Structure 1
Amino acid sequence: MDIKEQIKRLKKEKNAVILAHTYQPGDIQDAADYVGDSYGLSVQASNTDADVIVFCGVRFMAETAHILSPSKKVILPAEDAGCPMADMINGDDIVKLKEKYPDYLVMCYVNSTSEIKAHSDVCCTSSNAVKIAQKLPPEKGILFVPDQHLGSYIMEQLGREMVLWDGFCPTHVRIQPEMIKQARELYPDASILIHPEAPRACRELCDQVLSTGQMVQHVKTSETMEFVIATELGLIHTLQRERPDKTYHPLFSGLLCPNMKKGSLEQIVSALEGTGGEVITLPQEIRQKAKYSLTCMLELS
């Protein structure tokens, strides 16, 4: 049996839904029921009547799906798919940070572990980060974890001082200003889109600073027909599916997240059969506290 047909059969048997992040390999995106950014996928999963969620992404994404849908079985097909940025801060780090700044609110990027979410006052995504920060009490300081670059983007937009953890995305920090200048010369008619996880010096040279979900929406509705994409290469497959009539250029071929590329169709089959992948479970206390920071984000969005 063809592996895609096998996946369809198993999905029906298990009442399962397959979620794939836009950075996943193209064949996984094509096999998924929903493709999108991490938080949007978790919300989508919580709104389905599926009993099983197969989350093709990295660990923090599957954890978020479990936090929002504790009654569903959430499986991470690639068990070793972690996120280096999420792992750049741990529970002890954030406790010490809060002791140093006791009157500050902790604003946590959703690209973080459940432990960090549990220590936070509110979460945010790359698309709503500015909006969330703007709604926090102006008399309160903000501790932003873990991504210093998204944090600096918020500060630029609002003119608000924040204490930033020094975490970063190893993929997006490979972007250099010279690459963007070269792309301008090579593709003078293209609009350059960059993710806010990229360094400020690079963001300032681009036409739009957008989350992955915002990039998809922008490309779908924009009259522009040619784009340079300054984020993980997997997004180009998503964009080509949405608007195949447009032209997309990767900023450079090294914009690959190794963890996002660990998944395979065979791993999806194993996850659905119950012979592979990891079923995500979290301590109840951590899950409930983490859900609080996610709920606060929804209320402020």
Structure 2
Amino acid sequence: MVSDEMRAEVERLKREQDAVILAHYYVTPDAQDLADYIGDSFFLSKKAATLDCKTLVFAGVHFMAESAKLLSPNKRVLMPEPTADCPMAHMVQKATIDAARAKYGDDLAVACYVNSRSQMKAWSDVCVTSSNAVKIVRALPQHNVLFIPDMNLGHYVALQVPEKNVILNDGFCPTHEAIELAEVQAARREHPGARVLAHPECGDWVLKEADFVGSTSQIIAEAVASDATDFIIATVHGVIRELEAQTAGSGKRFWFPATTPICPNMARVTADKILACLRDGTGEVSLPGDDVAAGSAHALDLMLDYAK
């Protein structure tokens, strides 16, 4: 719970530093309470690129703050928890990309999920998020698409865009990968009539059980629009704050698998750390080298163009 004193101190520091706080749905509720904008990766990427401010405080994991810096190189970007990383963001090798380019030549596009480090984005042709991956892959002129790093999202995209040859990389989100079909089915038995809403980073075994598959923001929108009252949520538990906020008074209820999906890195981002980084200027994110910065920024900019 954020105290009035903490909120007032954060507001004062924001005014002094011309700062805006961005938070992902998966960070702790108290961190979300201090945010000016809360969203999924796509929303936050767009917002970071358009905000008129000097400082961005990015309550999320490293690749998110890194992307914000690439899209807004003249802004100061601070991370409340600099060690918050994403294992999947490292799960691709340059050799995998080189082999695909050698095999398919100009008829290959490398589509890089934003959950990746800047070096991987620089190796790629375009970035995507879980909100827009299907749309962008469908729009690419190339027939062959190497999807990195997430094989689960890539597999979901391949099913939605069967006219393309989508090549998968052996990467995954440990938190979503660990969601078990048996626990989702048990939750459905415990709550008859509940709809299963799943993130496409989940394994195919969960997606086949789902009534709806979408990004975090799409899951929230589906829950708000649905006539159902009960929902089983197959994504990271941090989304519960926004689900409950947007459905307050509706009587809607949300359930998670018995082994609650929690991202250990997102869970380390707290309100106390947001205050500390604003007060002390800690966790500043720097641009990578010129070649990497140019290539990764181009892939992110192209994503925003395709997603319009």
TM-score (norm 1): 0.94
Q: How many residues align?
A: 300
C-alpha root-mean-square deviation of aligned residues, in Å?
1.7
2:99 is aligned with 1:108: no
CA 1:61–1:297: 2 relative to 1, 3 Å: same
CA 1:90–1:59: 2 relative to 1, 3 Å: farther
**Residue identity matched to 1:220:** V
Instruction: Give matches, 1:257-272, under 5 Å.
Output: 257-272=263-278
Unaligned 5+ runs, structure 2: none
Instruction: Kindly report structure 1 stretches of 4+ aligned residues shifted beyond 3 Å.
Output: 90-103
- Residue 162 of structure 1 is matched in structure 2 by 166
2:95 is aligned with 1:89: no
2:284 is aligned with 1:278: yes
- Residue 180 of structure 1 is matched in structure 2 by 184
Task: Give percent identity, aligned residues only.
Answer: 41
Task: Quote how far apart the aligned CAs of 1:293 are.
Answer: 1.2
CA 1:45–1:298: 2 relative to 1, 3 Å: closer
CA 1:94–1:76: 2 relative to 1, 3 Å: farther
Task: Quote how far apart the aligned CAs of 1:90 are.
Answer: 4.5
* Residue 215 of structure 2, aligned match among 207, 211, 217: 211
What SS does the corresponding residue of 2:231 show, helix, strand or coil? strand
- Residue 51 of structure 1 is matched in structure 2 by 54
Task: Quote how far apart the aligned CAs of 1:2 are.
Answer: 1.8
Instruction: Give matches, 1:184-203, under 5 Å.
Output: 184-203=188-207
Distance 2:236 2:207 in 1: 15
- Residue 151 of structure 1 is matched in structure 2 by 154
**Residue identity matched to 2:255:** H
Distance 2:172 2:12 in 1: 40
2:129 is aligned with 1:125: yes
Task: Quote how far apart the aligned CAs of 1:225 are.
Answer: 2.1
What SS does the corresponding residue of 1:153 show, helix, strand or coil? helix
Residue by residue over 1:64-87, the C-alpha shift from the partner in whole angstroms, topping out at 9 and shown as x without a partner, is 111111111111110101100011
Distance 1:181 1:218 in 2: 20
Distance 2:244 2:302 in 1: 34
Task: Quote how far apart the aligned CAs of 1:101 are.
Answer: 4.4
- Residue 31 of structure 1 is matched in structure 2 by 34
* Residue 83 of structure 2, aligned match among 69, 80, 85: 80
What SS does the corresponding residue of 1:41 show, helix, strand or coil? helix
What SS does the corresponding residue of 2:261 show, helix, strand or coil? coil
8 A contact 1:194–1:206 mirrored in 2: yes
Distance 2:192 2:21 in 1: 39
Instruction: Give matches, 1:240-255, under 5 Å.
Output: 240-245=244-249, 246-255=252-261
Task: Quote how far apart the aligned CAs of 1:254 are.
Answer: 3.0
8 A contact 1:192–1:230 mirrored in 2: yes
What SS does the corresponding residue of 2:282 show, helix, strand or coil? coil
Distance 2:221 2:260 in 1: 24
8 A contact 1:144–1:162 mirrored in 2: yes
What SS does the corresponding residue of 2:196 show, helix, strand or coil? strand
**Residue identity matched to 2:292:** I
8 A contact 2:27–2:270 mirrored in 1: no
8 A contact 1:108–1:144 mirrored in 2: yes
Task: Quote how far apart the aligned CAs of 1:97 are.
Answer: 4.6
Distance 2:221 2:79 in 1: 27
- Residue 62 of structure 1 is matched in structure 2 by 65
8 A contact 1:270–1:277 mirrored in 2: no
**Residue identity matched to 1:143:** L
**Residue identity matched to 1:223:** D
What SS does the corresponding residue of 1:111 show, helix, strand or coil? coil
8 A contact 1:149–1:198 mirrored in 2: yes
Task: Quote how far apart the aligned CAs of 1:89 are.
Answer: 1.8
* Residue 17 of structure 1, aligned match among 13, 20, 24: 20
* Residue 233 of structure 2, aligned match among 220, 223, 229: 229
Distance 1:279 1:136 in 2: 31
Distance 2:174 2:87 in 1: 7
Distance 2:39 2:284 in 1: 21
What SS does the corresponding residue of 1:53 show, helix, strand or coil? strand
